[in-house]
Amino acid sequence: DARVTQTPRHKVTEMGQEVTMRCQPILGHNTVFWYRQTMMQGLELLAYFRNRAPLDDSGMPKDRFSAEMPDATLATLKIQPSEPRDSAVYFCASTGTRDYEQYFGPGTRLTVT
Amino acid sequence: GQNIDQPTEMTATEGAIVQINCTYQTSGFNGLFWYQQHAGEAPTFLSYNVLDGLEEKGRFSSFLSRSKGYSYLLLKELQMKDSASYLCAVSPFSGGYNKLIFGAGTRLAVHP
């Protein structure tokens, strides 16, 4: 049963600290998305990659957020420095070349105090 | 700009039928999606419409009218487990086939 995995599932950190979230897409999927979900803003696209190349990161605050795909099995989202307003659930999703369905991971619930 | 509107909350009775509407205005259009999200869980795919008309999949159906910028999700024979948020999403032409813009979601509560 192929699934997207994300670590950590929960993260509590203090303002100013660096946060790194990791995602393992479904094997063979070539497109990876990072979303952020809050009660106020709903589900927002932060960035996405195809074949490990960034296609669109217009939804991401560039001064503190960065997203990378070091290899086809790992995507990372970093926040440095973190702020309380970054508290949210961060979802990773993946899809294949001919797929229209996005498969979401379980999410990382981030709390910045 | 991009705008997707759907009702914030709906309630319905077990066994009944409910229709969740979605209207959209986007810079392009390459498909409309519905996702289901139970509280505390990840969204899961329900349906995809790219042509006008009704797509039926079991108890769930989704309708699209591109000229009106309108879609609905129809849930029949409601069950308690259908209590969840339902997210309408559009794939705009710009940005590629897979990019999705999500609406705020409709929280559906199913009562006995």
- Give the helix ranges, DSSP H, for chain B: none
Q: Is A54 helix (H, G, I), strand (E, B) or coil?
A: strand
| Cα B44 from Cα A93, distance rounded (Å) | 10
* Tens digits of residue pLDDT in B49-86: 999 999 999 999 999 999 999 999 999 999 999 999 99
The residue with greater pLDDT, B20 or B28, is: B20
Pairing type for strands B70-75 and B60-65 reads antiparallel
What does the pLDDT read at residue B94? 60
Average pLDDT over residues A27-50: 94
Question: Residue for token digits 């070349």?
Answer: A97
Contact A45 B105 (CB under 8 A): no
Which residue, among A111, A113, A85, A103, has the nearest Cα to A35 in the 3D structure?
Answer: A103
What does the pLDDT read at residue B95? 54
To the nearest whole number, what is the mean pLDDT of chain B?
A: 93
SS (H, E, C) B1-23: CCEEECCCEEEEECCCCEEEEEE
For residue B19, the distance in angstroms to the closest alpha carbon of chain A comes to 21
Question: Please, are residues A77 and A34 in contact by the beta-carbon 8 Å criterion?
Answer: yes
How much of chain A, in percent, has pLDDT values that exceed 70?
A: 99
Contact A104 B43 (CB under 8 A): yes
| Cα A96 from Cα A103, distance rounded (Å) | 10
- Residue B24, pLDDT > 90, answer yes
Residue A61, CB half-sphere, CA atoms under 13 Å: how many? 12
Size of interface A-B (CB pairs under 8 A): 49
* φ, ψ of residue A84 in degrees (nearest 5): -55, -35
Q: Is B27 helix (H, G, I), strand (E, B) or coil?
A: coil
Of A56, A95, A102, the CB nearest to B95: A56
